């Protein structure tokens, strides 16, 4: 079945460490997105990519980095510069014809 796979589902990190969240899709979608979700704040866009080897900052990109070396993959690195990284992270993908985004199951990151 086609879909978006995020891994791991739960992730723990010590302060000062970088950590990478995985996102893979087999929907053949061109665009991919990373959102951060905090209680009561909805979803906020971190980064998005419309095509391989290209990506743009969203509303809250500081402390995060991404790469898009393959159409299917869009990993997100949470760096030590992110002051409050504990959150639920959602990856999504879309095509311009369909417009709506398809979401993965999310990764919950906790800084300990």
Give the residues lining the site for another protein (CB under 8 A).
4, 6, 31, 35, 40-43, 45, 48, 50, 58, 88, 90, 92, 94, 96-97, 99-106, 108
75 neighbors 14 (Cβ within 8 angstroms) = no
Q: How far is the CB of 13 from another protein (least distance, A)?
A: 19
Q: How far is the CB of 91 from another protein (least distance, A)?
A: 8
CA distance 101 to 93: 5
Q: Is the Cβ of residue 29 or residue 78 nearer to another protein in the bound state?
A: 29
Q: Is the Cβ of residue 16 or residue 84 nearer to another protein in the bound state?
A: 84
Q: How far is the CB of 12 from another protein (least distance, A)?
A: 16
CA distance 38 to 62: 16
Q: Is the Cβ of residue 43 or residue 65 nearer to another protein in the bound state?
A: 43
Q: Is the Cβ of residue 23 or residue 78 nearer to another protein in the bound state?
A: 23
């Amino acid at each position: 079945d086609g879909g978006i796979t995020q891994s791991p589902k739960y992730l723990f990190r010590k302060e000062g460490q970088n950590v990478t969240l995985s996102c893979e899709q087999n929907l053949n979608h061109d665009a991919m997105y990373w959102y951060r979700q905090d209680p009561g704040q909805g979803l906020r866009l971190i980064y998005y990519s419309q095509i391989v080897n290209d990506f743009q900052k969203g509303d809250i990109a500081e402390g995060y980095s991404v790469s898009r070396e393959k159409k299917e993959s869009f990993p997100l690195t949470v760096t030590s510069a992110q002051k409050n990284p504990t959150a639920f992270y959602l990856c999504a993908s879309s095509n311009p014809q369909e417009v709506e985004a398809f979401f993965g199951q999310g990764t919950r990151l906790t800084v300990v």
